[in-house]
Structure 1
Amino acid sequence: MTTQHQHLVYGHATAHDCFAFADAGTATEEAAEIRALAAARTWGEARQVRMTHLSHPAGPDCYEPEDGYADDKPFDITEVGAVKDGTWPRMVTERAFTLLPQDLQDRYGKRQVTVHSGDYLEIPLAGEAELLAELRRRGYEVTRDDELINLLDGFSLGKLAS
């Protein structure tokens, strides 16, 4: 058994009705990027949002001003192609595959396959106490933050923009 010294944030991912995990070291910065993009009022503002942790679904390599996305044209994050088709941001529930030890994935979760967005680890809400105890025993620091997890999952992006 390997001992880790990693800080994870976890929460109830509403879209999949299960737990999801994220790296606490980058989660708040990723959330700030999502909030900044959602707050953009024009395509020009959206293009200016700096993304260091996430891909930029409204960046200049995706939407060119000369293709009808002029800098002064109103921006709505829910109308961005990657957001509409559910590929941005990536499902927060898939992060458990890289963050949790394989034996805990096998014991507490179940791989679920989606047609368009790839696989995710479904971790039932009922196993919370046991999974957290095991993670902490292995040296993980674990903090619950449902709001952060759902923001990272892109849940309710339209509400952020209004």
Structure 2
Amino acid sequence: MTTHHPTTRRLVYGHAQMHDCLAFADADTAAEEAAEIKAIAAARTWGEARRIRTTHVSNPADPEYYDPDEDPADDEAFDINEVGSVMEGDWPPLVAERAFTLLPKDLHTRFGKQQATVLNGDLLEIPLSDEAELVAELRRRGYEVQRDDDLINVLDGRSFSPLAG
């Protein structure tokens, strides 16, 4: 039986294409988050989108995310790229922002640069060139780290974003 040090974290990371930097996510929940994002993005009607129950991400088809005067009928066609919070870049939240809470603070300034986005808050821009050194440092500190570019980009909305291309 292995005993894990209480500060051990499991992280998944990858190249976040929209911001061309490394991004990190909690490996314990990332796959489930990605599945929720894909399910919502694949919904064909507003009713179908609303019925998707999420545990890890907010659902942009929920009434608190759109103008109540524009309450779409359940059978109305749903296009994830026409949802306000998606068009404004608020959903899903920037994956490159998670490094602020997932990585030790001293590594923020050592490897990353805080960047403000026009509408969506700050992200931690970590150059791809720092991957080997950063991953080695995290492992040295007891983190389990695994690369998965596809998963990171699904979390960033890359699987449906019109900006992807």
Distance 1:60 1:110, change over 3 A: same
Distance 1:74 1:104, change over 3 A: same
TM-score, with normalisation over the residues of structure 1? 0.91
Distance 1:64 1:81, change over 3 A: closer
RMSD: 1.9
Distance 1:47 1:6, change over 3 A: same
1:99 aligns to what? 102
Deviations 1:86-143 (A, max 9, x none): 1101100000000000111111111011121000000000011100000000000000
**Is 2:38–2:159's contact at 8 Å kept on the other side of the alignment?**
no
5 Å-filtered alignment, 1:52-71, equals: 52-63=55-66, 67-71=70-74
2:115 aligns to what? 112
Deviations 1:59-95 (A, max 9, x none): 1333588735111111111110000111101100000
* SS of residue in 2 equivalent to 1:120: strand
1:29 aligns to what? 32
Aligned to 2:90, which of 84, 87, 90? 87
Percent identity over the alignment? 65
Aligned to 1:18, which of 18, 21, 27? 21
1:47 aligns to what? 50
Structure 2 residue runs of 5 or longer lacking an equivalent are none
2:143 aligns to what? 140
| Structure 1 position 3, deviation (Å) | 7.7
Aligned mates of 1:80, 1:69 — CA distance in 2: 11
Aligned mates of 1:145, 1:27 — CA distance in 2: 10
Count matched residues: 158
Distance 1:112 1:133, change over 3 A: same
**Is 2:36–2:54's contact at 8 Å kept on the other side of the alignment?**
yes
TM-score, with normalisation over the residues of structure 2? 0.90
Distance 1:3 1:47, change over 3 A: closer
